[in-house]
A and B are shown apart, each in its own frame.
Chain A
Amino acid sequence: MSPQQAPHQETSTETLHARAPLGTELLRIEGLRKYFPIKAGLIRREVGQIKAVDGVDLTLNAGETLGVVGESGCGKSTMARSVARLLDPTGGKVTFRGHDITFSSRRELREFRREIQFVFQDPYASLNPRMTVREIVAEPLRVHGRYKNGGKDHVDQLMETVGLKSEHGNRFPHEFSGGQRQRIGVARALALNPQLLMLDEPVSALDVSIQAQVINLLERLQDEFHLSYVFIAHDLSVVRHISDRVAVMYLGKIMETGTKAEIYDRPSHPYTQALLSAAPIPDPAKRGKRERIVLKGDVPSPADPPSGCVFRTRCWKAEDICAEEVPQLIDRGQGHPVACHFAEADSKVLA
């Protein structure tokens, strides 16, 4: 790019806040890494690193939902937090609307945070118990200096949007059930009219009958406000339901990514296959009729991940090459990227 074309600060903010046309690239994650130091001894010397996220590549288009699945400790939450800069990444690059935001300054970050908001798993822990619902939903507006002009009406509108009554505004979080609290969290996340929501296990703490209410709400809001979602969950059924595309994580890396049909109907990474085959299906007629892949052992420590393919220690297909060579996340003839030397589509896992 020549110096004449370099945009100055104002235009840059404009392109950041202008809504991305549906279907165009909104977020690009390249080689993202987040390592946590392991410290030991009297002087807290660094003796090692936990590689929580270790080279993640993903993209998200406007209006789309990217589901991220994986078991606890696979780095899915750390990945989301590093993207939204709730954590500072160790390396890699995050681009939002064409702006490199990986290491942006506090001031730039403030602009960027209007566009990307978080909804957390535990609505009990993420809402300040001393603030009324109205204060909670209004807080992002106040922080960004947008409350004075019509803020009160805006809050009323937000509450109505998520299905809360306006008279609930003066109550405190503890007066609400889990599902209602999650609605408050969603209203707060929508206050600044963001383009992207990072949803970190947003329905995992909710009862089944309430889960469906919140999932439907999220889908309705997405249509209404052209939102894009990164939806992190361990529940494979919920992820299938809400996602357009899915990424499967294991030990800090993406094992496989593709459209929901590619991942669920033609899983090609052994880990994806094992994960899907292990998920219980609530239909007793299917009992004993599914072939179940029971993986041996536990997930290795991210402080000392296996060489080569990180999944090889639990994989039934592992051969010498798996210990020697890290399999790249590329299309190996399955039509979508798979990080396995022996990738092979299996359409019978859920059949």
Chain B
Amino acid sequence: MPEPVLSIRDLVVDFGTEDGVVHAVDGVSYDIHPGETLGVVGESGSGKSVTVMSILGLIPQPPGRIVRGEAFFKGVDLLKVNKRELREIRGKDIAMIFQDPMTSLNPVFTVGDQIAEAMEVHDSSLNDDRLRAKAIELLELVGVPNAQRRVDQYPHEYSGGMRQRAMIAMSIANQPSLLIADEPTTALDVTIQAQILEVMKTAQRETNAATIMITHDLGIIAEMADRVVVMYAGHVVEVGDVGTIFHRPRHPYTLGLMNSLPRLEVDERWLKPIPGQPPSMINLPPGCPFHPRCELFQGREACRTERPPLDPIESQHHRAACHFKHELKNETSKFAQEGAAS
């Protein structure tokens, strides 16, 4: 396997709040390889966004604090470089797409100017005509109709879906080697979402960028990701290729998550929820953070006292952080069961 583009090791991020210290990210490690799409799933507060925001220097400090960890991007530890160097990397080698394009686009500049600026900042050799031509080319690539005309329009003249296209155009303007998309379609309707996911695939094909797709929507992960990282309460609880994670997960949280989803194609009388509530990030349960909601816990000492390591199962590529993961050896999610039946 080639060298990872980005390698996050043992990242710990805290936030100081009035009520106490929030352990938003608590020892997260994962890699992303060239050209692959890595899906990061988890519920709100699981730390999936904070992880990437921290390594890009995009969390406010204070209240945020990077306690420890490493994030190697092309051999450079992003947590050690200074602000200027990080700014150089951000937007050029690493680009981001956020959930709400209206807040990430500047309302007082035209879309074309903003795409041009993104390129100019990192390459001052381009003249105005060339920048404009490239901006139009990019807008065409992401499917903005009448790009010649729309390049001179302001963000408010774009619809939500068009703005997200413009954001994607801007993010790939500098041929980044890593693209981070944080809930890129969450604010959009399903028919527009389908369009944007197609555009993202095009953008990826054009740039061959490795992509981190952060979302709570398991449907999008199933559609887009090659590998999946599952997060819970600031921890990575499972990592594996997309088929394994959806069909034969080995962490009880992942299995519970899959089995709690309502189905679009099949009728079921009752859903099977994960019992209990998500933990308080200030007072995380000791040991395994999932144990109070876990079927496998059954009062066992290890779950309450020892944090389970993210150990491999069968192959190095599939890992789960559960003391009793072997007890799920013969389990499959409801998706696999249907697949086997049909």
Seen from chain A, the residues whose Cβ lies within 8 Å of a Cβ on chain B are 71-72, 177, 179-180, 207-213, 215-216, 219, 234-238, 240-241, 260, 264, 274-287, 292, 294-295, 297-299, 350-351
Q: Does B16 contact A (CB under 8 A)?
A: no
Chain A residues whose CB sits within 8 angstroms of the CB of B277 once the complex forms: 177, 179-180, 210
Let me know if A215 and B271 touch, CB within 8 A. Answer: yes
Seen from chain B, the residues whose Cβ lies within 8 Å of a Cβ on chain A are 43-44, 145, 159-162, 189-195, 197-198, 216-223, 225, 242-243, 246-247, 256-258, 260-265, 267-268, 270-275, 277-278, 335, 338-339
CB distance from B341 to the nearest CB of A (A): 12
CA distance A294 to B44 in the complex (A): 29
Contact of B264 among A209, A287, A350 (CB under 8 A): A350
CA distance A53 to B162 in the complex (A): 26
Let me know if B260 and A208 touch, CB within 8 A. Answer: yes
Let me know if B339 and A280 touch, CB within 8 A. Answer: no
CA distance A210 to B278 in the complex (A): 9
| Contacts A180-B277, A237-B261, A278-B191 given; does A208 touch B216 at CB 8 Å | yes
Let me know if B194 and A292 touch, CB within 8 A. Answer: yes
Let me know if A281 and B43 touch, CB within 8 A. Answer: no
Contact of A287 among B44, B223, B262 (CB under 8 A): B223
Chain B residues whose CB sits within 8 angstroms of the CB of A215 once the complex forms: 262, 271
Chain B residues whose CB sits within 8 angstroms of the CB of A236 once the complex forms: 190, 264
Residue of A nearest to B258 (CB): A282
Let me know if B191 and A207 touch, CB within 8 A. Answer: no
Chain A residues whose CB sits within 8 angstroms of the CB of B198 once the complex forms: 294
Contact of B243 among A238, A274, A284, A298 (CB under 8 A): A284
CB distance from A281 to the nearest CB of B (A): 6
Q: How many A-B residue pairs have CB under 8 A?
A: 138
CA distance A215 to B262 in the complex (A): 10
CB distance from A209 to the nearest CB of B (A): 4
Q: List 26 A-B contacts (CB under 8 A).
A: A71-B192, A208-B43, A208-B216, A209-B257, A209-B278, A210-B273, A210-B278, A215-B271, A219-B270, A234-B189, A237-B263, A237-B264, A241-B268, A260-B267, A274-B191, A275-B190, A279-B264, A280-B220, A282-B222, A283-B339, A284-B243, A284-B247, A286-B222, A297-B145, A298-B159, A298-B162
Let me know if B260 and A211 touch, CB within 8 A. Answer: yes
CB distance from A168 to the nearest CB of B (A): 12
CA distance A241 to B264 in the complex (A): 8
Chain B residues whose CB sits within 8 angstroms of the CB of A71 once the complex forms: 189-192
Most chain B CB neighbours (cut-off 10 Å) among A276, A298, A350: A298
Residue of A nearest to B260 (CB): A212
Let me know if A294 and B194 touch, CB within 8 A. Answer: yes
Contact of A282 among B160, B246, B275 (CB under 8 A): B246
CA distance A282 to B249 in the complex (A): 14
Chain B residues whose CB sits within 8 angstroms of the CB of A274 once the complex forms: 191
Chain A residues whose CB sits within 8 angstroms of the CB of B219 once the complex forms: 279-282
| Contacts A278-B193, A280-B222 given; does A240 touch B243 at CB 8 Å | no
Let me know if B246 and A284 touch, CB within 8 A. Answer: yes
Chain A residues whose CB sits within 8 angstroms of the CB of B335 once the complex forms: 282-283, 285
Chain A residues whose CB sits within 8 angstroms of the CB of B217 once the complex forms: 280
7 closest A-B pairs by beta carbon, nearest first, are A280-B219, A212-B273, A71-B189, A207-B43, A278-B194, A209-B274, A241-B262
CA distance A27 to B216 in the complex (A): 36
CA distance A136 to B198 in the complex (A): 46
Residue of A nearest to B246 (CB): A284
CB distance from A300 to the nearest CB of B (A): 11
Chain A residues whose CB sits within 8 angstroms of the CB of B263 once the complex forms: 237, 240-241
Contact of B222 among A235, A276, A284, A298 (CB under 8 A): A284
Let me know if A287 and B222 touch, CB within 8 A. Answer: yes
Chain A residues whose CB sits within 8 angstroms of the CB of B220 once the complex forms: 280
| Contacts A209-B43, A237-B262, A240-B263 given; does A278 touch B190 at CB 8 Å | yes
Contact of A209 among B222, B243, B260, B268 (CB under 8 A): B260
CB distance from A88 to the nearest CB of B (A): 28
CA distance A278 to B267 in the complex (A): 19
Let me know if B264 and A208 touch, CB within 8 A. Answer: no
